A and B are shown apart, each in its own frame.
Chain A
């Protein structure tokens, strides 16, 4: 079945350093979503990418969708302690009417040393 792999599993940075997490799918994705989960919290939707090669920015966060629509990345510039949490990518399990089900990557846990 479809798999969504995410690397690295953990990343510890000093405040001010950059951070990147990568997401790879075994199949072509119609879209990819990114979520953030703060420690003790619940996943919160960040953004969705739909187009091949798409790049979207949210302040210090930059999201990219690969040209082949099988990989994606999230890059955080100059991390802050508020960036701490687990970042998940998720792709639809099926196509057409079944694509509301998501396959989540296992997430990247980001910790930031102040």
Chain B
């Protein structure tokens, strides 16, 4: 979906470094989400946001920080990266009406050495 973009697509960093993954959507969707996808675990929700300046923890929030100062952007920061955070990260968004599908970005493949 061209309406939601993630950057970078690939990132290699070292343990202890701070890294920020960007997510931008052009649909003005209220809801945005961050997932990580690992073999054997499927998609796990890290953080989500219902609107600008409203964020909340998901299933696996430890080690991550988010912000949402503007509706269209929802960056995810790993404050001090660990090897266990090596994963594929997906950002998604959805409309605020009930029963709406989520639209995913292309993902960021993050490797922490």
Partner-B contacts on A (CB < 8 A) = 30-31, 33, 41-45, 48, 50, 88, 92, 99-102, 104-107
Contact = CB atoms under 8 A, between A and B. Distances in A.
User: Dominant SS at the A interface?
Assistant: loop
Interface residues on chain B, size class: 20 to 34
A49 to B, nearest CB: 10
Contacts of B90: 42-43
Contacts of A88: 42-43
Contacts, number: 46
5 contacts: A31-B99, A41-B106, A92-B99, A99-B99, A100-B31
B100 A105 contact: no
Given A45-B101, A45-B102, A102-B102, 9 more contacts: A33-B102, A41-B106, A42-B90, A43-B104, A48-B101, A50-B99, A99-B98, A99-B99, A106-B40
